[in-house]
Structure 1
Amino acid sequence: MKRRVGQYLIDQISVYGVDQIFGVPGDFNLAFLDDIVSHEQVEWIGNTNELNASYAADGYARIKGLGALVTTFGVGELSAVNGIAGSYAERVPVVAITGAPTTVVEQAKRYVHHSLGEGVFDDYQRMFEPITCGQIYLTADNAAIEIPRIIAKAIRFQRPVHIHLPIDVAMTEIEVKEATVQPMLSQDVSVFTDLIQERLKEAQQPVLIAGHEINSFKLHEELEQFVNQTHIPVAQLSLGKGAFNEENPHYIGIFDGKIAHKDVRDYVNSSDCIINLGAKLTDSATAGFSYEFKTEDVIFINDEDFRVDSTYHTDVSLRDMMRSLLTLNYENTANFTPFNREHMTDFILNDEALTQENYFKMINHFLQQDDVLLAEQGTSFFGAYDLVLYAGNQFIGQPLWGSIGYTLPALLGTQMADKKRRNVLLIGDGSFQLTAQELSTMIRHQLKPIIFLINNDGYTVERLIHGEKEIYNDIQMWDYTALPAVFGGKDHVQTHKASTSNELKTVMDTVDQQPDKMHFIEVTMGMLDAPEKLVNISKAFAAQNK
């Protein structure tokens, strides 16, 4: 059948369930945007800037399994680089499409706007090479083959890809087959499973450390089935919160190095068979690499990274490994202490200044069974990763890339991906000021998330690391609850303020009673008050930087 290249690109993206595309218009993508707007399967979601669009596509992909954004050549695509790099680091599949000058302009090496004025047009494409798992310059000749191939690559590796789309190519009609989901090849990984089986036979105290790749590849059911079969206890990293069902009796808690709960810390550190499953032992996830085991003794099962003893392979699929693990014949008999779900329910109600400790206990009580919880890097993330989740919750943060301001635009993406689920965002004032404009896009689309903004007057996480009273950790005080009205949401957004636990409880009750509104809650707390985990990790970061 005949389709324009741009139409076929949208067709192929949409068969993977993508029904919204984020981005910002520019003269090199406008004709392509016409095809997006007229497409029956997708909706155009315009953003306030390209960085926010990349964050929104990332959040959308974490729910839907694939995201897409469109920017214009040069100024637009480079504005999105930070967000795409975060998607690469945290394994989120996003199709980044750049609307580019015509092939005639590029071949003639003309000095067009948005270029560097040197007649070179592949500089920006090469900038994407380290932060994407695939890049393609589309032509009328290669589009029919390369479009399905590059999108399938994003799905296979759960990482972003970059597509350079000259606008004349986008408008060229070509012969294509009907867009379909590309089959994924599987590997025989039984030889690796046998190595794990041998290690487990000798183990007296095995443990699983689950991480973010379980979330990325959506292997939650397979992981839980494996654990239920083998009875091996599971600890999670903060980078990977939500990888395992915290209501499962085999869950023992968060392992974050020396600051972990004693039962978890002792069990993991003394294990004679640690299986690292889809996890990365980063500095923030382990409180400055403060684990006591030797990494050379750990079984690492990550996508493209399998290690056990002297065996090391980079061409191994985590999906195939997870399925193969289900064939293991092993049952753990070691005793362990299951996770205690009761420790976050004892919040205090009074009229005193609200503390971080009490705030997060109240947030935990506020959470509902199927909520999507987003926690911004800083006090919000380090307070939230210890929260007790239900099996139906989804937890979203960005602790590896750690770009502050990420979660507000990501909230646009997660809520657009599923408008029926309640989305709750926890964010600090400093982070909010980076990407606040995207609140207007949520209002424009009449979304109804719940936003808790901590107003503690600046960059608390940085204050704890260095420069407690320095001017570079200060920010301008905003009238935060006035912003929804400024952005046109006076009738759609309910704003609230709270500075005590009694006030916050009243607000939370109101939010529960009015689910048909967006709620924006400004919560005031002390400048240097911080979750205990953040205080301890900040000390590790400070020592690491010396």
Structure 2
Amino acid sequence: MVVTPPLIVDYVSPSHWPVNSLIYGQQTQNRPLYTLFLSSDHQSPLYIQYIHTSIHRQLQIKSKSSIMDTKINTPDLITPPNGNIISPPVTTAAAVVPFAFGEATLGRHLARRLVQVGVSDVFSVPGDFNLTLLDHLIAEPGLNLVGCCNELNAGYAADGYARSRGVGACVVTFTVGGLSVLNAIAGAYSENLPLICIAGGPNSNDYGTNRILHHTIGLPDFSQELRCFQTVTCYQAVVNNLEDAHEQIDTAISTALKESKPVYISISCNLPAIPHPTFSREPVPFCLSPKLSNKMGLEAAVEAAAEFLNKAVKPVMVGGPKLRVAHACQAFVELADASGYALAVMPSGKGLVPEHHPHFIGTYWGAVSTAFCAEIVESADAYIFAGPIFNDYSSVGYSLLLKKEKALIVQPDRVVIGNGPTFGCVLMKDFLQALAKRLKKNTTAYENYHRIFVPEGHPLKDDPKEPIRVNVLFEHIQKMLSSDTAVIAETGDSWFNCQKLKLPQGCGYEFQMQYGSIGWSVGATLGYAQAATDKRVIACIGDGSFQVTAQDVSTMLRCGQKTIIFLINNGGYTIEVEIHDGPYNVIKNWNYTGLVDAIHNGEGKCWTTKVFCEEDLTGAIETALGAKKDCLCFIEVMAHKDDTSKELLEWGSRVSAANSRPPNPQ
């Protein structure tokens, strides 16, 4: 059983397992080993407890009666050679050790909480309202403070970190920092990422005094930042007194994990270092009760879905981006294995569905789908969409040829079958697992795909000295991918070129499709690489996007990261050109390798190069993977301004048509 933060684990009846037994989770991509420990107390409700130490993370299930006054010593991890369940060493409960009163501070409590939920790196920009808090974060042994060049990139880095680690955190200062990071927090909200945004706030004595503070718009109102965050976070805590600080911090962090959304915590600048009795004990690890499906609703939904699908001739299944928040990726694969259905993925779900699966047919993206995928999906007489988001971009300007009456839509907690019944309080993971046991095997759609499929051609062979083409670039990037790599795709033509990459088993993949903020990838690459230290990140970034957030290549160097960045220099905002062209889409050209060399400034390991032809590219990749494998490698690819993927040309024209629809008649 694989468990990854944010912590949501199915209820396990203790009667089904031996007393005091360990259930070992397998090692997964970018994740440490997790275990479940079942208490011998079968009379009390089971609660899930998340323990973090500097050595490993562990999940324990413990009775409610003792959860508030004890903590569990970490049992030795004895990995069974055959993967079977074994009995653990005998463990004893130890009393929570009180802090020395001088250590029992708000800052210490917050730092410990971040470590407990799995955050080991916090991305920050210092400001006079958060400096004391930063001192306490630095003092926490399990926490590393990563200083970023600006708040926007700190937020993007926390976003990328959360994609790999399951939760991320950033720290900024009051208002000027908070409003700067806001765009990144909105993006994390759209992508259902648990992100803890902490802002240093005004001195607690200044609230209600009618004073005007710096870093504000000049009004004696300190709530502007809070009001802005209310629309892009699921919980907001303004901590300006110590009496309820413990409760507010704990509620905010646990809400982020439960809702898988960002939260906002403002902490008055004079409070982090003050001891208070509420912080006098080591924080008891969180107990997050698992979400449960309504049993009768689940049974009814499975019954109706099985009837709907079993009468179909050529059903298919398509995975969407909400598979992540529903923790249902494995359940989705189990359903594919059991049903035999052809298996596709929406563009924003790429990386969540294994592309090495024997029935995988590609990316379903309407008119710009991978070869032969759209034909199979849209000709099916029934389709399961698990966790989809149908917006104007993913629907290619609302042009998908799908019919509602043929669709079974499975959202994280709801199932909708065609034009008929809807079932609420049904968790996606539970539904998919139960449905897998009720479906008849039907491989018709995949057989049809296999029958019509013709392998895609390769780019025309050019003289090695001819100007490089983008499709040749991505042919070479494809050869670089392995289970030890991860791809970050920036908004723009990289969306479409990276969609065509075939991901090997274990290869990570991330991009931001719902929010689509250009420049996201620089900060996200920083955060993802900081979390996924076992992978080498390959980032594909356009020149226009890079100009927005380029500074934090500096932070990558400070952190000793070994990312490979392909900077595609085609002189402008190519994706905007294909939607609506104009002189505003042409940007000032930079000497990008010269810029990165200047940022490097002899500190850290960095290697840069420009490539003009395929021969240059081959040599650059060979160097990046060989002699410079321990360096951050920045490869500037000089591309023609009109060299775009055919998918972008098609997609751009359809999105343009959707954007330019005239007003409806009044």
Bin for the TM-score computed over the shorter chain:
over 0.9
Q: 2:443 and 2:406 mapped to 1: Cα distance?
A: 21
Q: 2:396 aligns with which of 270, 287, 312?
A: 287
Provide closer, same or farther for how the CA distance between residues 347 and 495 of structure 1 changes in structure 2, counting only shifts above 3 A: farther
Which residue does 2:600 correspond to in 1?
A: 488
Displacement of 1:327 in angstroms is 4.6
Check if 1:146 corresponds to 2:251: no
DSSP 3-state at the match of 2:348? coil
Displacement of 1:208 in angstroms is 1.3
Please identify, of 210-219 and 435-444, the stretch whose mean Cα deviation from structure 2 is larger: 210-219
Q: Is the 8 A contact 1:429 1:455 kept in 2?
A: yes
Displacement of 1:104 in angstroms is 1.3
Provide closer, same or farther for how the CA distance between residues 28 and 331 of structure 1 changes in structure 2, counting only shifts above 3 A: same
Provide closer, same or farther for how the CA distance between residues 424 and 335 of structure 1 changes in structure 2, counting only shifts above 3 A: same
Provide closer, same or farther for how the CA distance between residues 347 and 519 of structure 1 changes in structure 2, counting only shifts above 3 A: farther
Provide closer, same or farther for how the CA distance between residues 315 and 23 of structure 1 changes in structure 2, counting only shifts above 3 A: farther
Which residue does 1:365 correspond to in 2?
A: 479
Identity of aligned residues (%): 31
Which residue does 1:198 correspond to in 2?
A: 307
Superposed, 1:199-348 pairs within 5 Å as 199-261=308-370, 263-295=372-404, 297-308=406-417, 309-312=419-422, 315-336=425-446, 337=449, 343=456, 348=461
Q: Is the 8 A contact 1:344 1:364 kept in 2?
A: no
Provide closer, same or farther for how the CA distance between residues 318 and 75 of structure 1 changes in structure 2, counting only shifts above 3 A: farther
Name the TM-score, length of structure 1 as normaliser: 0.94
The one-letter code sitting in structure 2 at the alignment partner of 1:130 is T
DSSP 3-state at the match of 1:436? helix
Which residue does 1:447 correspond to in 2?
A: 561
Check if 1:498 corresponds to 2:611: yes
Q: 1:224 and 1:341 mapped to 2: Cα distance?
A: 25
Displacement of 1:175 in angstroms is 2.0
Q: 1:150 and 1:226 mapped to 2: Cα distance?
A: 35
Provide closer, same or farther for how the CA distance between residues 289 and 399 of structure 1 changes in structure 2, counting only shifts above 3 A: same
Q: Is the 8 A contact 2:341 2:445 kept in 1?
A: no
Displacement of 1:342 in angstroms is 6.1
Q: Is the 8 A contact 1:27 1:72 kept in 2?
A: yes
Q: Is the 8 A contact 1:101 1:166 kept in 2?
A: yes
Which residue does 1:182 correspond to in 2?
A: 287
Provide closer, same or farther for how the CA distance between residues 292 and 341 of structure 1 changes in structure 2, counting only shifts above 3 A: closer
Q: 1:425 aligns with which of 539, 548, 559?
A: 539
Q: 1:83 aligns with which of 160, 174, 184?
A: 184
Displacement of 1:323 in angstroms is 4.6
Provide closer, same or farther for how the CA distance between residues 445 and 539 of structure 1 changes in structure 2, counting only shifts above 3 A: same
Q: 1:472 aligns with which of 584, 591, 600?
A: 584
Which residue does 2:51 correspond to in 1?
A: none
Q: 2:426 and 2:594 mapped to 1: Cα distance?
A: 52
DSSP 3-state at the match of 1:193? helix
Displacement of 1:5 in angstroms is 1.9
Q: 1:73 and 1:324 mapped to 2: Cα distance?
A: 48
Q: 2:235 aligns with which of 126, 130, 134?
A: 134
The one-letter code sitting in structure 1 at the alignment partner of 2:179 is L
Displacement of 1:522 in angstroms is 0.5
Displacement of 1:329 in angstroms is 4.6
Q: 1:340 and 1:221 mapped to 2: Cα distance?
A: 27
Displacement of 1:233 in angstroms is 1.9
Displacement of 1:285 in angstroms is 2.0
Displacement of 1:322 in angstroms is 4.4
Please give the per-residue CA displacement for 1:54-113, whole angstroms capped at 9, x wherever unaligned: 000000110000000011111100001100000011111110111101221012232111
The one-letter code sitting in structure 2 at the alignment partner of 1:23 is S
Provide closer, same or farther for how the CA distance between residues 319 and 180 of structure 1 changes in structure 2, counting only shifts above 3 A: farther
Provide closer, same or farther for how the CA distance between residues 320 and 133 of structure 1 changes in structure 2, counting only shifts above 3 A: farther
The one-letter code sitting in structure 2 at the alignment partner of 1:500 is C
| Root-mean-square deviation over aligned CA pairs | 2.2
Q: Is the 8 A contact 1:158 1:217 kept in 2?
A: no
Structure 1 runs not aligned, ≥5 long: none
Q: 2:506 and 2:181 mapped to 1: Cα distance?
A: 31
Q: 2:303 and 2:264 mapped to 1: Cα distance?
A: 38
Q: 2:404 and 2:254 mapped to 1: Cα distance?
A: 33
Provide closer, same or farther for how the CA distance between residues 347 and 439 of structure 1 changes in structure 2, counting only shifts above 3 A: farther
Check if 1:157 corresponds to 2:271: no
Displacement of 1:452 in angstroms is 0.4
Please give the per-residue CA displacement for 1:205-247, whole angstroms capped at 9, x wherever unaligned: 2211111122345533232222112222211111111121000
Which residue does 2:200 correspond to in 1?
A: 99
DSSP 3-state at the match of 2:588? coil
DSSP 3-state at the match of 2:372? helix
DSSP 3-state at the match of 2:198? strand
Q: Is the 8 A contact 2:162 2:193 kept in 1?
A: yes
Q: 1:185 and 1:478 mapped to 2: Cα distance?
A: 51
Q: 1:387 and 1:397 mapped to 2: Cα distance?
A: 13
Which residue does 2:8 correspond to in 1?
A: none
Q: 2:304 and 2:385 mapped to 1: Cα distance?
A: 14
Q: Is the 8 A contact 2:189 2:262 kept in 1?
A: yes
Displacement of 1:386 in angstroms is 1.4
The one-letter code sitting in structure 2 at the alignment partner of 1:388 is K
Please identify, of 473-482 and 146-155, the stretch whose mean Cα deviation from structure 2 is larger: 146-155
Q: 2:389 and 2:250 mapped to 1: Cα distance?
A: 30
Q: Is the 8 A contact 1:481 1:520 kept in 2?
A: yes
Q: Is the 8 A contact 1:425 1:449 kept in 2?
A: yes
Displacement of 1:335 in angstroms is 3.9
Please identify, of 137-146 and 492-501, the stretch whose mean Cα deviation from structure 2 is larger: 137-146
Displacement of 1:125 in angstroms is 0.9
CA radius of gyration, larger in: 2
Provide closer, same or farther for how the CA distance between residues 305 and 289 of structure 1 changes in structure 2, counting only shifts above 3 A: farther
Q: 1:512 aligns with which of 625, 628, 635?
A: 625
Please give the per-residue CA displacement for 1:398-426, whole angstroms capped at 9, x wherever unaligned: 11111000001111101111223111000
Which residue does 1:67 correspond to in 2?
A: 168
Please give the per-residue CA displacement for 1:245-266, whole angstroms capped at 9, x wherever unaligned: 0000121111111232463112
Name the TM-score, length of structure 2 as normaliser: 0.78
Which residue does 1:377 correspond to in 2?
A: 491
Q: 1:340 and 1:16 mapped to 2: Cα distance?
A: 46
Displacement of 1:466 in angstroms is 1.3
Provide closer, same or farther for how the CA distance between residues 17 and 344 of structure 1 changes in structure 2, counting only shifts above 3 A: farther
